[in-house]
Structure 1
Amino acid sequence: MDATQDIAERYVAVWNETDPERRRRQIAELWTPAGQHYVDVREVRGYDALENRITGSHEKNVRDDGHRFRAAKDARRLRDVVTFHWEMLPAETETVLARGLEFLIMSEDGRVLADYQFFPA
């Protein structure tokens, strides 16, 4: 797997993570301390806000509704920007229920500075 697709895979893994401690660690590994996430009118900044946003999505979509997220095999990088699509599927099937586009601005150390989520994509 190439490094750009690896970023996409690590990104969706955070949203699927069931263990709060591992999720917190994955957030710190993927985003910078002042990392930002934007979707619709929601705007979060920093590890605590990211953790709240991701945990809320996980609880609703994964824990309660029985879905999972996966990265499409279309991750691309141009300088400091990574884009890829993600998909939400039932845990047991391959039926895509939702699809979004991530536009990530990366720091020099390879972590996310800003995450723009376009949904639906």
Structure 2
Amino acid sequence: MTDHKTVANRYIDLWNERTPSRRREILAANWTSDARYVDPLMSGDGHDGVDALVAGVQQRFPDFKFRLIGEPNGFGDHVRFSWGLGPDGGDSPIKGTDFAVLSDGRIRSITGFLDQVPAGA
């Protein structure tokens, strides 16, 4: 049975990891090699593509961190969770909801939706 919260926490851990080698370890352990990420602003394929997206978001928002909002849920190999991106300890001005499809317990694809994005972000 899929532990939705573990999947979501590992996903958030990836987006918050600033050390490239550690980020690659997280990808290798929790994402399939052919994983795909897509949202309205960007997309990436495989570990290299996803890693580049994470690095780009970290560069654009160097003082922000991701955090889960609410409880992840899902069924079978499908997981849904919401997240916020903002300064540590403060409100998250950027919020979204992501849908993961798993393969053997690892993320195969993420489809992301942006629920709240301030102008200029």
TM tier, shorter chain? 0.7 to 0.9
Aligned length: 115
Displacement of 1:60 in angstroms is: 1.4
Letter in 2 for 1:94: G
Displacement of 1:3 in angstroms is: 2.3
Pick aligned residue for 2:69 from 67, 72, 87: 72
Deviations 1:11-30 (A, max 9, x none): 01111111110011111112
For 1:113, the equivalent position in structure 2 comes to 108
Secondary structure, aligned partner of 1:18:
coil
Q: Could you tell me the TM-score, scaled by structure 1's length?
A: 0.87
Displacement of 1:71 in angstroms is: 1.2
Deviations 1:57-86 (A, max 9, x none): 12212x2xx111111232002111000001
Structure 1: state its 5+ residue gaps.
Answer: none
| 4+ residue runs over 4 A deviation | none
Contact 2:77–2:101 (CA<8 Å) still a contact in 1?
yes
For 1:26, the equivalent position in structure 2 comes to 26
Secondary structure, aligned partner of 1:48:
helix
Q: Percent identity?
A: 26
Counting only pairs closer than 5 Å after superposition, residues 7-86 of structure 1 correspond to structure 2 as 7-40=7-40, 42-61=42-61, 63=62, 66-86=63-83
Q: Could you tell me the TM-score, scaled by structure 2's length?
A: 0.87
Please give the root-mean-square deviation of Cα atoms over the aligned residues, in Å: 1.6
Higher strand share: 2
Contact 1:81–1:104 (CA<8 Å) still a contact in 2?
yes
Q: For residues 42 and 86 of structure 2, what CA distance do their matches in structure 1 show?
A: 23
Secondary structure, aligned partner of 1:40:
coil
For 2:119, the equivalent position in structure 1 comes to none
